[in-house]
Structure 1
Amino acid sequence: MRTSRANILGSCMKNENKMNYDFSNRIVLVTGGTGALGRAVTSAFIESNATVISSYVVDKEIESLKKDSKPMLQLVKADVSKEDEVEKLVSDILVKYGRIHIVVNVVGGYLGGKSVWELDEKIWDKMMTINLKTAFLVSKHVVPQMISSKDGKIVHISSKTALKSSGYDSAYAASKSGLIRLVESLSEETKESNINVNCIMPNAIDTEANRTAMPTADFTKWVKPEDLANVILFLCSVEAKVITGAAIPTYGIG
């Protein structure tokens, strides 16, 4: 059967902004699902027929998700910087669903603007906690059941800054760089168990909070949360089965 060039081009044009995935019967844990990127990732998985458990910390942040809530979305309050809460979160999911197939760890944050000699130890500790410790704890408690099942996908969120700091962001840059090393180590430790572990490295993400913080920036060069969600879904799909231990640049083309 011959397919015309016009038909091929037409098909590509219809799907140029979004790939269609089917994550039916897949249990997905999204940590930090109430932020701009977390909401985009959660919505993308739900649209792709996954069952999503989205963790949050601040009650008021879940209102927007509740409005669009669907039967395949479960919201769970959990501070994933605390090991006992991570352990309970994972245990409860396993009791209810039996498996966690996919984890997208979106929890993170940025504090900068200080030189190393001006930086308060509390800021250093906070960056290490929310950007690196959370990834470690979530991975630690999710991976064993993935190893038992010989299947799993894990995606963390690093940053372009992990590769090259512009200064005045040492704690953030160090935490995101450490996250890449965590991904590399974990991918080596789990590759015989058919588990893919990767991270993406965005630059500035086009969110309301970032626009408020940087009102004079050129927003057209920023990457939208929905575009990052598309990359994450690809990394969690069977099409990306050969990718593991990777730090994927997602800077945009502006």
Structure 2
Amino acid sequence: MPSRIYAITGAAGVLGGAVARAAEERGARLALIDHAQHACSTVPAGDNALHIGGVDLTDANQAGAAIEAAAERFGGVDALLNIAGGFSWEKVEGATGETWKRLFLLNVQTAENASRAAIPHLKRSAAGRIVNVGANAALKAALGMGPYAASKAGVHALTQALAEELKADGVTVNAVLPSIIDTPANRAEMPKADASTWVAPADLAAVMLFLASEEARAVTGALLPVTGRV
């Protein structure tokens, strides 16, 4: 049986790298898409990994070109994992509104552009999958989380709308909703927090790869909390 073909956006980040490494261990062929021009040393390399750098996924044309490059290299795309995104903490009072626009572009528009480009290929797959990264924080926004939570709520709505749109074609669309992911950046921002309660990138990757697998055929439109012990 041919190995699965995964297109992973935000592949140079901590979570993207964890997903890519876990997928490689499962024998997948990988299209690693990122805004960074050059691949970092922590992501897979070799004949089964195509690095597509310098991609602005907020631009529909660039997103489309990246997906087409993946499909041309490997003969299709079986699963799209939308990990690219961004975060900012900002209160509404005194803000200019630019953060709201930027986070919508980074979190919602990137996923929409990549998904739209991938849909024709996913429909041709025997088990087409889209897995998005939402946020548990979007279920109840805390102080200063307005723009981030609103943009991730947009990801949740996109997930559910696409699930309805594509279910007759056998393509499933789901989202994971992590709490705090255990990354170097989060540890630096919250040095006094108990990081042992956070979500390890490898654990979140395992959930995402299940949703991207052939076995997850009965799950679509799900917003799955992955919150560790937070």
State the TM bucket, normalised to the shorter chain: over 0.9
Q: Is the 8 A contact 2:137 2:179 kept in 1?
A: yes
Match for residue 14 of structure 2?
A: 36
Whichever residue aligns with residue 210 of structure 1, its letter is N
Q: CA–CA distance in 1 between the matches of 2:157 and 2:220?
A: 13
SS in 2 for 1:126: helix
Residues 179-210 of structure 1: CA deviation (Å, up to 9, x unaligned): 11110010001001111100000010000011
Q: CA–CA distance in 2 between the matches of 1:138 and 1:85?
A: 9
Match for residue 110 of structure 1?
A: 87
Whichever residue aligns with residue 174 of structure 1, its letter is A
Alignment of 1:153-192 (within 5 A): 153-192=129-168
Which moves more between the two structures, 180-189 or 69-78? 69-78
Q: Percent identity, please.
A: 32
Runs of 4 or more consecutive aligned structure 1 residues displaced over 6 Å after TM superposition: none
Q: CA–CA distance in 1 between the matches of 2:214 and 2:67?
A: 24
SS in 2 for 1:182: helix
Q: CA–CA distance in 2 between the matches of 1:75 and 1:95?
A: 13
The Cα shift of 1:95 comes to 2.2
From the two aligned structures, give the one with the greater helix fraction: 1
Q: CA–CA distance in 2 between the matches of 1:215 and 1:55?
A: 31
Cα-Cα RMSD: 1.6
Whichever residue aligns with residue 13 of structure 2, its letter is G
Alignment of 1:8-157 (within 5 A): 24-59=2-37, 62-65=39-42, 69-77=45-53, 78-112=55-89, 114-149=90-125, 151-157=127-133
Whichever residue aligns with residue 121 of structure 2, its letter is Q
Match for residue 15 of structure 1?
A: none
Whichever residue aligns with residue 104 of structure 1, its letter is L
Q: Is the 8 A contact 2:50 2:70 kept in 1?
A: no
Q: CA–CA distance in 1 between the matches of 2:170 and 2:65?
A: 25
Kindly name which structure, 1 or 2, has the bigger radius of gyration based on alpha carbons.
1
Unaligned runs of 5+ in 2: none
Residues 20-51 of structure 1: CA deviation (Å, up to 9, x unaligned): xxx95211100000110000000000000000
Q: Is 2:165 aligned against 1:196?
A: no
Q: Is 2:216 aligned against 1:240?
A: yes
> When the two structures are superposed, what TM-score results if normalisation uses the length of structure 1?
0.86
Residues 201-242 of structure 1: CA deviation (Å, up to 9, x unaligned): 001000001101111111111010000000011111232111
Which moves more between the two structures, 214-223 or 89-98? 89-98
Q: CA–CA distance in 1 between the matches of 2:9 and 2:220?
A: 20
**Number of paired residues?**
229
Q: CA–CA distance in 2 between the matches of 1:139 and 1:86?
A: 9
SS in 1 for 2:228: coil
The Cα shift of 1:252 comes to 0.8
Unaligned runs of 5+ in 1: 1-22
The Cα shift of 1:56 comes to 1.6
> When the two structures are superposed, what TM-score results if normalisation uses the length of structure 2?
0.94
